[in-house]
Structure formats: structure tokens, C-alpha cells
Amino acid sequence: MYRATPLTENTTLKELGERIRAHRITMDLSREALAEKAGIGKNTLVRLEMGKSVSLSHLVKVLMQFGFAEALVNIVPDYSRSPMMLLRESQKLPQRKRAGRKKKAAPNAPWVWKEDE
């Protein structure tokens, strides 16, 4: 959705609360039922739907009931593996090989210990 003005903390919380409320209603769940399934208090859910500040763990519990927890995690990119590393793994590029050393020509005489000379 295009917005003419940038989101602030308050407008973000309000929008998120409205979407959670709308999704709860779409799923035909009462506040009491969702709060019980999520393991949070009804008043916490009311605060969340009103766009008030609640703990992150309460938000995650509600989103898990909707099946959105993975989407929440995917908001932030995973930088533990670089794009080049992923590309190399997907293409199975051949490993670079070092040039071998030139072998010395074998001398005509057999090798002997210095003490034996």
C-alpha cells in the first residue's frame, strides 16, 4: 500500500493493531478465545488491537496463532551467509587448482647417502 506520509511509531502500532483485529474477526475468533490460545491476557490483546505498546513476546504469540511468525522473522534479512556464498553453493563451481611443480629430471646415477661415498 502506498502512503503519502512516512509511518511513525504510533501509526505503525495502530495499523498493526487494526490488521490483527481484522484477521481475528476473519478467523471468527473472539478476543477471549485468541488470548487463551496465544497464552496472553485478554487486556493485552485489547491493547495490541488498539495500537498500544505491548511486549514483543506477546505480539509473537499472537502472530504464531495466525501462522505469521515466520513472516515476522523474515522481515529482517539473514546476513549469516553472504550472497556470494549462496551463489557458489547453488552453482557448484569447480574448485581452483594450483599449478603443480615441475619435476626434476631423474639423474642417471642412483642416489646414495653422503656417508656412503
CA distance 11 to 17: 10
pLDDT at 61 over 90: yes
pLDDT tens profile 10-39? 999 999 999 999 999 999 999 999 999 999
pLDDT averaged over the chain? 85
Q: Look at residues 11, 7, 12, 13 and name the one whose alpha carbon lies nearest to residue 53.
A: 13
pTM above 0.75? no
What is the pLDDT, as a whole number, of residue 7?
82
Domains, in order of start, for the chain: 9-73 (1.10.260.40)
What is the pLDDT, as a whole number, of residue 15?
93
Poorest-confidence range of 21-35, 54-68, 78-92?
A: 78-92
What is the pLDDT, as a whole number, of residue 116?
62
Q: Look at residues 48, 89, 91 and name the one whose alpha carbon lies nearest to residue 66.
A: 48
